Amino acid sequence: MHLRTLSILAAAVVLLLVLATNTGCRKDMLTDDPGAKLRFAADTLTFDTVFTTLASVTLPLKIYNDNNSKIKVSSIELAGGSSSNYRINVDGLPGNAYDIEIEGNDSLYIFVEVTVDPTNFNNPLIIIDSLNFLTNGNKQKVVLAAWGQDANFYSGQVICNETWTNDKPYVIFNSILVDAGCELKIEPGVQVYLSNNSFMYIRGKITVDGGCGLDTVSFRGVRLEDFYDDIPGQWPGIFILRGSVNNSFTNVEIKNSIYGLNLGADTTDNLASFTTANKSSVTLDKVVIKNSLATGIYSTLSDITARNCLFYNSSDYLLTMGLGGTYRFENCNFLNYGSVATSHDKPNIIMSNVASNEARGQVAFAPLSATFVNCIIDGSLDEEIQIERSDSASMVYVFDHCLLKTERTTTPDSFLNVIVNVSPMFTNRGEDDFTLAAGSPCIDAGTNSTATDDLKCNIRTGTMDIGALDAQP
């Protein structure tokens, strides 16, 4: 009995030794499995230090081998090579590295240093490079991003009575708020860049006075690589809060946000707090809002006056007029045909004089008045106009000398001299050139409006054309 017990114990010890030996072999064994990849602590290494003078900053990047077996990284290289602003140190050795082995379930530190002279205005706003890895035939990379120019940086501030001039870009992290009773003025040519968690909240007033051409004021995300040029949802949007009135945007481009403009929002979802007494209001002239992840303009019981504006490419509605309000659009284009980055399964425009909050058991009503003069409302859906009406509040809408994509019966009380379900004939829609081509039904088909010049600041002459861009001789 005693000998049998010893035999069993000896066998168990041998088995454990075999298992330990086999496990050790697997961990020490170098795998060439193409499925064995690296994992990174971050897919983008961002040097968010505010550079105001020549300076260097070093950050660590940790890479992981989550495989049981050892892995060989054939190469770790800076894509920018010797001309890069960045330098690396891999496992204590400077420069690019080759044939680096990482044990199974182990990790490795790489230290990345960047040197920036922000006074060198030949630099881009953001200096982008990448750290490229080749492992078992797999190519992986980590993006490196640092501020290449001096800029005006804001992070979570409440601001009052400021004027932004075109001396250097404005970069916003963690949102800003224009306080009640205060005004933010933005002068021609200013470029505003917002990070992915950065709202612009306006409780006071914003006046954006851009100019034509290169003097257009731009709001966009901070990622400037070509890949991100038309990607929606890179920053939340400009939110004009309830009670903020007399806001204006002239010669402005707002792109790649979740909402372009969100008008009339509040800090509560209590519908009783939304009244005509605390309406928000804005005037838009020669404004482009494009590539919105949600809605180009989302308005709740507010007032909008717009002329010569172009709204296009949105994953939701281009224009939402919710819970009433007063709206007038002259010579504006509402266009949505879908793209590789935005779906188009909702109409371009929705108007409603009713709203509900099921969580609170609330239903609210407010009068709505909407007028569209010389506008193009076109897209890939059969119906690009949605109307939600309640008899508990008035609703009046008029489409006057417009080109429309709609299946509605165009009764003369709401549809005056409209062109229905005909192509507007743009010069090159695929290249976002929405000028009117020769033979377009929109040429000389409009009526008089206050849009005396067009989106590109061309003076309109003769009979008014329909749309934001006048046909030029």
pLDDT for 26 equals 52
Query: What is the reported pLDDT for 5?
Result: 38
DSSP class of residue 469 equals S
Q: Does domain 39-147 have CATH number 2.60.40.10?
A: yes
pLDDT at 17 over 60: no
Distance of CA 149 to the CA centre of its chain: 22
The answer to whether residue 46 scores a pLDDT higher than 90 is no
CA dist 198 and 254 (Å) reads 14
5 Cβ contact partners less than 8 Å away, ≥ 6 residues apart: none
Element (H, E) at 185: strand 183-186
Q: Do 373 and 449 contact (CB within 8 A), yes or no?
A: yes
Element (H, E) at 3: helix 2-28
pLDDT in tens, 375-394: 999 999 999 999 999 999 99
Burial class (CB in 10 A: 0-12, 13-18, 19+), 41: middle
In 431-468, which positions are buried (b, 16+ CB within 10 angstroms) versus exposed (e)?
eeebbbbeebebbebbeebebebbbeeeebeeebbbbb
DSSP strand pairing (368-373 vs 319-330): parallel
Sign of the alpha-carbon dihedral angle for 180, 327, 471, 378: positive
SS3 label, residue 7: helix
Q: Which residues pair with 138 in a beta bridge?
A: 135
| CB 401 within 8 Å of CB 373 | yes
Averaged pLDDT, 145-170: 91
Whole-number pLDDT of residue 124: 77
- Return the half-sphere exposure (C-beta side, CA atoms, 13 A cut-off) of residue 100: 26
User: Which of 12-21, 87-96, 195-204, 369-378 is predicted least confidently?
Assistant: 12-21
Distances (CA, A) of 309 to 210, 247, 416: 14, 16, 21
The pLDDT, as a whole number, for residue 138 is 94
d(CA 241, CA 277): 13
Q: Which two tokens stand for residue 308?
A: 């010569």
Per domain, the residue ranges of the chain are: 39-147, 152-436
Burial tier of 403 (Cβ tally within 10 Å: 0-12, 13-18, 19+): buried
H helix runs in 31-72, sequence order: none
pLDDT in tens, 401-434: 999 999 999 999 999 999 999 999 999 999 999 9
Answer yes or no: pTM beyond 0.95: no
Q: How confident is residue 27, by pLDDT bands cut at 50, 70 and 90?
A: low
Which band of pLDDT confidence, cut at 50, 70 and 90, is reported for residue 7?
very low
Calpha distance 46→183 (Å, rounded): 32
Model confidence pLDDT, tens digit, residues 49-85? 767 778 889 999 999 999 999 999 999 999 999 999 9
Please tell me which of 18-27, 165-174, 437-446 the model is most confident about, judged by mean pLDDT: 437-446
Cβ atoms of 187 and 216 closer than 8 Å: no
Average pLDDT over residues 84-112: 95
Summary mean pLDDT of the chain: 91
The answer to whether 348 and 320 are in contact (CB under 8 A) is: no
Asked which of 164-168, 231-235, 266-270, 439-443 is least confident by mean pLDDT, the reply is: 266-270
Which of 5-9, 119-123, 141-145 has maximum average pLDDT?
Answer: 141-145
C-alpha dihedral, 144 to 149 to 151 to 155, nearest 10°: 10
The mean pLDDT value for 321-325 works out to 97
